[in-house]
Structure formats: structure tokens, C-alpha cells
């Protein structure tokens, strides 16, 4: 009855009907995460009952953690994270791993999430991590592209590194495709909001060769859903655009996710009594995540 009430409320207030997701979100499949007592499951759809309206500008489409950047959709000036810091100058952010040089920069929020992940890996005996590259400004990306060529670098504005959300992670022992660090990240990065952006089985989707070192921050619950459904970012954003609404339970935290097509400045609905985040997709819409 409660779920039915949520459904009717959603239809009346938002004005569209989403597709039944029973084959995926009602599987009740539990996946072990940090230990046998803490689990993640993808739940059936739930829409927050208490919502409020929020006006957003069209520019919101180009801001947030879920921006798709590739050869088709470039970085906009407003897309770069505003909290970029030099990691070498912030020692508290680099405990447990090394830096290739003292010039590496990254979003502070992403660096905090990465640090949390590294501490978890260290508890499992995996501790030879090294950040080789983080945020790159347009000038640096342009310089890299001219130096390495199109086979090894992307033009300025077409690399995720221009956002501040991506980093190249290495091992001080061996190349990531063989290192314990690479294997650990592939298995566990999603628990901390990261995804392996260019996996070997998705080259036809991303258009980028397998890069076991390149991880991208998207945040929870998105990384958990992408892991569960074996999605890369392109597939996940298509999924949200098609379904319009979803929910997930990650370690006891209930998340709701709604997609809105944005053409001009408009009003969207957000949870009234809960935390929420808004991210554009860098194409045509925004995703509201409540928790």
C-alpha cells in the first residue's frame, strides 16, 4: 500500500509514468560489500513523499559528478570542479599512497573519497598505490595531446581529467593490469563512489581502449548500480533517461534517483526533508539524488 501511494503521488506530481523495473530492481539480489554483515541490494522503486520545488538554470546540465565527457560531449568551462587542490600541498589527503610528482591536482572531495578507499585497501594488505595524474587544465591537456598524439591522449576539453573527477592510479610494484592494486580497484572501487571508467569489455561503448589505471568518481549510489548492472557511464545515463526514476539501498541508506530533461531554466522537485545532490549529464538533463 505504501509503495502504491508513492507511485500515485509521483504520477500526479511529476506528470509522467516510468517503466516498470521489476526485472532489475526487484531481484532482491544481495551483494556482500565490506563484510558479511554489511550488504547492498538494489531495491524496488520508491519516491520521496515530501518534496519541494527548486528552480535550476540550464547551466546545471553542465555541472556535477555525473557529467559524460567523451569525443562527442566536451567539458564546458563551468564543468570544472571548484574545489581543485594541489595534493602535495595537502599531506592529510595523501596518507597511504604516493604521488608521481608534486604538481598533481584533484577535487578535494574526490581526494577524500580516494583516501578512504586506500585505507580500506591497506587493511587488506594492498598498499602500493600511486597517483600518476589527476586534474588537468585545458592548457596542460593541449600540451599533452600535442606531445603524445591522438592515439594516447584526447584533445583539450574532451578528457575527463579536465573535470577534476578522474585520476590515473598506478602501483609502485608493477603495471596496473597485473598488480594487486589494479585487481583490488576493479573489485572494490564502486564501494567508495568510483568506477573503472574504461573496462576491457566496454571498448565498443566508450570508444577508449582498456585502461586499468583510470578511475572516475560518480558517487554513491551510482557506482553501486553501475557495478550491479555492469554499466559504464554512457549506459548508466541512458538507463536513467529511459527509466526516469529509480531507488537503491546501499548499506542501509535509501537513495532515490530522478531524471529531468532540461531545455531552459526550470523548476524541478527535490526531497524536502532529506539531503540531495543535483548533477547534469552534460547533454540534456539533470539527475536528482536524494538520501
Mean pLDDT over the full length of the chain = 84
Q: Which letter does DSSP use for residue 18 in this model?
A: P
Listing from the earlier edge strand, what are the strands of the sheet with 214-217? 98-99, 129-133, 166-171, 214-217, 194-196
**Is 211 one of the catalytic residues?**
yes
Per cent of the chain over pLDDT 70 is 83
Q: Is the pLDDT of residue 26 over 80?
A: no
151-173 mean pLDDT: 89
Say which range, 145-159, 164-178, 218-232, has the weakest mean pLDDT: 145-159
Cα–Cα distance for residue pair 177/214, rounded to 1 Å: 11
Q: pLDDT at position 147, please?
A: 80
pLDDT tens per residue, range 238-277 = 999 999 999 899 988 999 999 999 987 789 888 887 899 9
Common-topology check for domains 1-66+219-291 and 77-217: no
CATH architecture for the domain at 77-217 = 2-Layer Sandwich (3.30)
Say which range, 119-128, 137-146, 189-198, 239-248, has the weakest mean pLDDT: 137-146
Between residues 113 and 145, the one the model is more confident about = 113
CA dihedral for 204, 209, 211, 214, sign (positive or negative): negative
How is 131-160 classified by DSSP, letter by letter? Answer: EEE-B--HHHHHHHHHHH-TTT-PPTTSSG
Q: pLDDT at position 14, please?
A: 39
Considering the candidates 27, 143, 211, 254, report the single residue annotated as catalytic.
211
CA distances from 188 to 17, 68, 206, 213, 229 (A): 35, 22, 21, 14, 15
Q: pLDDT at position 102, please?
A: 95
Cα–Cα distance for residue pair 181/177, rounded to 1 Å: 9
pLDDT tens per residue, range 166-200 = 999 999 999 999 999 999 999 999 999 999 999 99
Q: Is the pLDDT of residue 103 over 90?
A: yes
Beta strands 98-99 and 129-133, pairing class: parallel
Q: Is residue 93 classed as helix, strand or coil in its secondary structure?
A: helix
Per cent of the chain over pLDDT 90 is 65
- Tell me the Ramachandran region of residue 252: left when phi exceeds 0, alpha when psi lies from -120 to 50, beta otherwise: left
Spelled out in words, what is the top-level CATH class assigned to the domain 1-66+219-291? alpha beta
Between residues 159 and 147, the one the model is more confident about = 159
Q: Is the pLDDT of residue 89 over 90?
A: yes
Q: Is the pLDDT of residue 39 over 70?
A: no
- Which sequence spans correspond to the domains of the chain? 1-66+219-291, 77-217
CA dihedral for 49, 51, 56, 60, sign (positive or negative): negative
Cα–Cα distance for residue pair 222/228, rounded to 1 Å: 10
User: Which residues, in sequence order, are bridge partners of residue 260?
Assistant: 286
Amino acid at each position: 500500500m505504501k509503495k502504491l501511494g508513492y507511485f500515485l503521488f509521483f504520477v500526479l506530481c511529476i506528470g509522467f509514468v516510468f517503466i516498470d523495473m521489476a526485472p532489475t530492481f526487484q531481484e532482491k539480489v544481495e551483494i556482500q560489500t565490506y563484510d558479511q554483515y554489511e550488504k547492498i541490494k538494489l531495491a524496488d522503486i520508491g519516491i520521496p513523499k515530501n518534496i519541494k520545488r527548486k528552480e535550476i538554470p540550464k547551466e546545471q546540465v553542465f555541472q556535477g559528478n555525473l557529467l559524460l565527457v567523451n569525443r562527442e560531449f566536451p567539458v564546458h568551462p563551468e564543468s570544472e570542479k571548484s574545489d581543485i587542490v594541489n595534493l602535495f600541498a595537502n599531506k592529510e589527503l595523501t596518507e597511504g599512497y604516493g604521488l608521481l610528482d608534486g604538481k598533481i591536482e584533484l577535487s578535494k572531495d574526490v581526494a577524500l573519497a580516494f583516501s578512504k578507499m586506500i585505507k580500506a585497501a591497506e587493511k587488506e594488505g594492498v598498499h602500493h598505490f600511486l597517483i600518476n595524474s589527476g586534474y588537468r587544465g585545458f592548457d596542460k591537456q593541449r600540451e599533452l595531446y600535442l606531445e603524445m598524439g591522438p592515439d594516447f591522449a584526447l584533445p583539450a576539453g574532451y578528457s575527463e581529467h579536465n573535470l577534476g573527477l578522474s585520476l590515473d592510479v598506478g602501483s609502485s610494484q608493477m603495471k596496473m593490469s597485473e598488480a594487486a592494486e589494479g585487481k583490488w580497484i576493479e573489485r572494490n572501487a564502486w564501494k567508495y563512489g568510483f568506477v573503472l571508467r574504461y573496462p576491457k569489455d566496454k571498448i565498443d561503448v566508450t570508444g577508449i581502449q582498456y585502461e586499468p589505471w583510470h578511475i572516475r568518481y560518480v558517487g554513491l549510489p551510482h557506482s553501486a548500480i553501475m557495478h550491479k548492472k555492469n554499466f559504464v557511464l554512457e549506459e548508466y545515463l541512458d538507463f536513467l533517461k529511459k527509466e526516469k526514476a529509480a531507488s537503491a539501498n546501499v548499506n542501509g541508506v535509501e537513495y532515490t534517483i530522478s531524471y529531468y530533461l532540461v531545455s531552459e531554466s526550470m523548476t524541478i522537485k527535490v526531497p524536502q526533508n532529506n539531503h540531495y545532490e543535483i548533477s547534469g549529464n552534460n547533454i540534456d538533463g539533470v539527475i536528482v539524488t536524494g538520501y
